[in-house]
Homo-oligomer: A and B are copies of this chain.
Amino acid sequence: MGAERAIEEQGPKASIREENEKAILDAAEEVFAEYGYSGASTKRIADRAGIPKANLHYYFPTKEGLYRKVIVNIFNVWLEAANALDDSNDPREALTRYIHTKMDLSRSRPLGSKVWANEIIQRAPIIQDYLETTLRAWTASRATMIQRWIDEGRISAVDPRALLYMIWATTQHYADFAHQITTLNEGKELSDRQWEEAKRNVTEIILRGIGLPA
């Protein structure tokens, strides 16, 4: 049944549905990041997407469903970025690439990171299932990989999870706490140069911290 799905993907003029859903999802990511789940009203999201509220509810019947889609999107972006860890067998190369990728994501998609942080702080009421399946599996396999590096004596003996948490915490801090960092930078956002410097510093401290001096 229904095996005859057309191609219908993309095109010079995306379908009305695609266009509107994209506008709504973008607006939703902004507003959820800025106000949190409860503080984000569908009216405000609709306004920012440039459509009436009733129209938003035509595409996304419930606020929770919209929110879920926003979170899953971010999660997928991060999962893809996580491949950076697998592109090499060399710990220095793999971790450098992973940290850089995560730092770049913190700069290019800070909103997603904030929405994620909010969701976790509030005990993941919406995406708990993802944590228990996809994230758990991903983490376990990477922890094993790191443990192998340790067993082979290529990096210091640290708890693989503690290392992963430090990478997540530090890189995401540059997105989630960007406002604090900006304030402590005389109110100015980090310049391109400062950002590069931050990346260098984070990478260097962590790598040296697990026994990989520059």
Residues of chain A at the chain B interface (Cβ within 8 Å): 33-39, 114, 117-118, 120-124, 128, 131-132, 135-136, 139, 156, 158-159, 161-163, 165-166, 168-170, 172-174, 176-177, 179-181, 183-184, 187, 197-198, 201-202, 204-211
Given A121-B118, A122-B36, A205-B206, A165-B181 contact (CB < 8 Å)? yes
A180 to B: closest C-beta gap in Å: 5
How many copies, total?
A: 2
Q: Which residues of B contact A39 (CB under 8 A)?
A: 36-39, 122
The residue of chain B having its C-beta at the shortest distance from the C-beta of A168 within the complex is B173
The residue of chain B having its C-beta at the shortest distance from the C-beta of A213 within the complex is B211
CA–CA, A123 to B172, complex, Å? Answer: 15
